[in-house]
Amino acid sequence: MDLTPRLLKIAQEIRPKERVGDIGTDHGYLPIYLIKNQIASTVIATDINPEPLCAARNNIRAHGLDEHIKTKLGAGTVPLEEEELDVIIVAGMGGKLIIEILKNSSRLKKSVNRMILQPMQQQSELRLHLSMEGYHIEKDLLVQEGRRIYEILVVSLKTGGKSKEPEERSPSIPGPETARIEKQYPKSFEIYQSMQMELGFFFFENPKSLAEKFLDLRIDQMEKIIRETGGRDSEAAIRMNERAKIKADKLKEVKGCL
């Protein structure tokens, strides 16, 4: 079974023989891939909607994998039991919904070591929540699928306590490319640090061409806002225009480090 680039990138982050929980499994393609390719030992696939879960069960049965993949109906991690899993995957949802799922998953911290999260929106809100709650972001990955570039966060649950200041949870050991840019472009790196919740702590560890495309998309979004609000005289439009100009300048400065 072939996966989309987004799901394949997630699958590549699963370690051999891990017990996996796929939250919001949809049609069960990711669990099937993980078992057929002998990556995961077992997978529990959940979904809040009965129709896609039924489709997932049919797909799993068609591949003869009923013994290795369990399906459970329910919201978020509610159907899961303690000590079942090593890693949970929450992909294809908004960042705010993922935050709500995490708030209801504190009982899983005893057994789950890692999470792989793929928010469709509100990425900065999700990073802020993870940082404030004491989780440790190990990777910020980018993957392109069609015209869109998705963000994937690999998160460790085995951390210390909560932090009052998000920056205290920043990685203590940066990746090699991040360290090089910090040394070579100190002023630009300071701007990047101010945008880490939006861009990720390990943004520079992604392939250069992909990081450039990601920044170009963000810059285009800001320039569109600047054009659309440029001729308006309301206070809200003026503030929006000013914020977009500042963010566009910051993104361009970060891009200059690549």
Distance from C-alpha of 151 to C-alpha of 119, rounded to nearest angstrom: 7
Say which CATH architecture domain 5-169 belongs to: 3-Layer(aba) Sandwich (3.40)
Tens digits of per-residue pLDDT, 102-153?
998 877 777 899 999 999 999 999 999 999 988 999 999 999 999 999 999 9
Q: What are the start and end residues of each CATH 3.40.50.150 domain in the chain? A: 5-169
Q: Which residues in the chain come in under a pLDDT of 70?
A: 82-83, 158-174
Q: What is the pLDDT of residue 164?
A: 46
- Hey, what amino acid is at 251? L
Strands (E), the chain: 19-23, 42-47, 69-73, 87-93, 114-119, 136-145, 148-156
Of 66, 105, 63, residue with least CA distance to 84: 105
Q: What is the pLDDT of residue 173?
A: 61
CA atoms within 13 A on the CB side of 191: 16
From residue 75, alpha-carbon distances to 46, 68, 103, 148 in Å are 8, 22, 13, 27
Of 125, 147, 127, residue with least CA distance to 139: 127
Of 120, 127, 124, 125, residue with least CA distance to 143: 120
Q: What is the pLDDT of residue 99?
A: 96
